[in-house]
């Protein structure tokens, strides 16, 4: 396993974009900032939003592309 490089950061950002995580996590972070919910609820909502986002076909491919580099494998 190799260490992460700058290229890996951009691959991770492609996951965020293709999974639309910014839009999904924005309401969760807004609730957290306003103190309208508990830390546990914020964590649960955030984790579920990430899982839901990565389940999209475009995001799944981006996720495999990201993991391929540090594991020194192909995405296939």
Cβ–Cβ < 8 Å for 35, 72: no
Rounded to 10 degrees, the C-alpha dihedral 3/45/26/60 comes to 50
**Model pLDDT for residues 11-68, shown as the tens digit of each residue:** 888 888 888 888 888 888 888 888 888 889 889 988 998 888 888 878 888 888 888 8
CA distance 34 to 26: 12
What is the radius of gyration, based on Cα positions, of the chain? 14
CA distance 2 to 56: 27
**Model pLDDT for residues 23-39, shown as the tens digit of each residue:** 888 888 888 888 888 88
Cβ–Cβ < 8 Å for 24, 54: no
């Amino acid at each position: 396993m190799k260490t992460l490089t700058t290229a890996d950061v951009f691959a991770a950002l492609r996951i965020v974009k293709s999974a639309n995580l910014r839009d999904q996590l924005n309401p969760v972070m807004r609730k957290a900032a306003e103190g309208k919910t508990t830390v546990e609820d914020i964590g649960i909502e955030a984790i579920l939003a990430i899982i839901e986002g990565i389940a999209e076909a475009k995001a799944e491919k981006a996720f495999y592309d990201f993991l391929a580099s540090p594991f020194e494998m192909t995405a296939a």
